[in-house]
Every structure is written in C-alpha cells, then in structure tokens.
Amino acid sequence: MLAVIIAISAYGVDVNLRPENNLMLLDPGIGSPFPAAADYNMGGMGAMCVSSPTARAYDPNEGIDHAPKGEFVALLRFDFNKLRGFAINDIALKLAITCGNQSAFSVYNFRGAAGDFDLSFVTSDWKAGWRTAHGTHSTDPIEEGTSFNSFADILAAYPAEKLETLHYDARYPYSAGENWFTFELDPQLESYTNILNTASGGQMVTFMLSPSENSGVCFNVRPYKQNTSDTAYTIRSTGPVLSVDVEYRAAVVDFSADDHIGYDDLLMLAGQWLESGSCDIYPPMGDGIVDMADLAVLSGYWYEIVE
C-alpha cells in the first residue's frame, strides 16, 4: 500500500479551488441607472458580469431594448497557501454562466453575447466589501471596498499582466438558464511565468476577466462568495472553480525549510502524527490528519535537495 501511494504522488493530482473572494467592477454606460457606479463597491452583488461597454440588451420578443449599461469586469482571488511548493501542470477555469434576462435587474447588461475576453494576472491588493447597487447601500461611501475607479488607481501602480485571450461562444439559448463553461488555460505560455511562481510560492492569486478590445462579449457569472455585511457572507455552490493539476515536488515535504529532506522533516511529521498540521500534504489540500499517506510522500523524497 505504501509503495502505491508513493507512486501516485509522483503524478499529477487535480485540485479544485474556490475563490477566497470575488468582486464585480462597473464603469457605468449611458443606459446605467447608477451614473456614479464607478465609485461604488459591488461586493454584495449576487452575480458578476463580464461585458463590453458596447453590449446592450435587445430582444423585441421579450420587450427588451436597453442601451449599454457600461463595462463590467470580474476579479477572482484564489488562495494557493496549501499548494505551496507544488508544480502546476494544467489549469482550467470553470464558470457557471447565466443565460437569463438579468437586464431586468437594471444594473446589468444582458444577455449573453459571444465574444473574446481577456484573462489577466493582477495584484491581490483589493477588498471586496459588501455594497450593492440597489437599496440603502447605493449611496454609502466606498471606503469598505474597491470600486472600478479605485482599482484603476491600483493598476496604475501594479499593472495587469495579460495571460491570454479566451472566447465565450454563447452557445446556449436565452431559456437555458445557468450552464457550466470550462475554459482550458495554457500555463505553458511565457505570460504565465509570474503567476505560476506566485501560486507555487503559496500566495494569493487574482485573475481579472475583462472584455477584449473591440469585443461585444457579455455574460453573467455566479459568485462563490457574496458579502452581505462587513462580517457576514453567503457561499454559493455555483461560484467559479479553478481546477489545478499539480505535481508534488521536494519543497512540499521540506517541513523544516532547510532545503534538505531528512530527519528534521520526519521529526516534524511524527510530532503531528494522527493530528492536523502543516505536514498534512496528502491529498494536496490535506485531509485533516497526518498519517501513513503523508509519511509515504515524505519517504518518496528522502534525502533529496530542494532546488
């Protein structure tokens, strides 16, 4: 059994990450009922939109004819702390995209329009807050979180790094409701170098989804974490998923951080035996207990030097 676990540890293992936080940013257009929305934090919205500033809602059969309501951008922040030291092979971004008429909720564009959108690596120095565009929150100050305008100021100091351009094909009809879309990313591209280093270092990673230049793209995405106050939030199971194929490296079992796998690491693991702790590394996100599976991974890198 021990040998089997060691063999498994040498190959890629899929890990699903949910956003530590997510946020929609809005730069309002001519059809927006909230002309000051670029200064509002949208952390309490029940959906996020990615939309070109030229997208509009038009459907004569539904009696819909709305002028463009602005440019919408989504931020997805993932915590890679438990994957520190792992090598990342493949990444897929899975989004639950809604095809219904969210233009009826007047802040949003509608309605599912095919087009390109850019995936970028941006700073994680932002706060989601809990504001919405409607109700009593609509005129509250923005100190509680990041807005479109304040994030633009942040990007001036820490520019976005474009990773690649993806395509939303709007394949489902208006009546189809919510559907999952999987976007296979290409981490072999040189543009991913910095984000992979950040992720392997166990730090926060933020993806920005924004409309590409000259694209008419528009789609609505369910958030994972919807902030309802400064301390409360709702978790939605349909929120984004980052599926990461990872591979163990010696750095994962260097518990003593001395760049060498040996007795110091074994002693640390023994000290956490049958308990939870930092030595719980199998499966990659841990299972709540340090046991033979974790010892097996450690033994597979015995006496190796961490590069």
Q: In three state form, how does the secondary structure of 105-128 look?
A: CCCCCCCCECEEEEEEEECCCCCC
Domain extents for the chain? 13-247, 248-299
Angle value at C-alpha 33, between 31 and 36, nearest 5 degrees: 105
Contacts with 241 (C-beta within 8 Å, 6 or more apart), sequence order: 16, 17, 18, 93, 94
pLDDT of amino acid 83: 92
> For residue 114, with 0-12 CB atoms within 10 Å meaning exposed, 13-18 middle and 19 or more buried, which class applies?
middle
Q: What is the pLDDT of residues 258-301, one digit of tens each?
A: 999 999 999 999 999 999 999 999 999 899 999 999 999 999 99
Please report which residue ranges of 158-210 form alpha helices under DSSP H.
Answer: 193-200
pLDDT of amino acid 259: 94
pLDDT of amino acid 140: 55
Q: What is the pTM of this model?
A: 0.89
Residue 250 vs residue 1, higher pLDDT: 250
State whether CATH 1.10.1330 applies to domain 248-299: yes
Q: Residue 19: which pLDDT band, with cuts at 50, 70 and 90?
A: very high
Per mean pLDDT, which range of 57-66, 173-182, 234-243, 256-265 is the poorest? 57-66
Q: What is the pLDDT of residues 166-208, one digit of tens each?
A: 999 988 877 787 899 999 999 999 999 999 999 999 999 999 9
Q: What is the pLDDT of residues 69-121, one digit of tens each?
A: 999 999 999 999 989 999 999 999 999 998 766 655 678 876 678 999 999 99
Radius of gyration of the CA atoms of the chain, in A: 22
The residue-averaged pLDDT of 27-39 equals: 89
Share above pLDDT 70 across residues of the chain, in percent, rounded to a whole number: 91
pLDDT of amino acid 40: 87
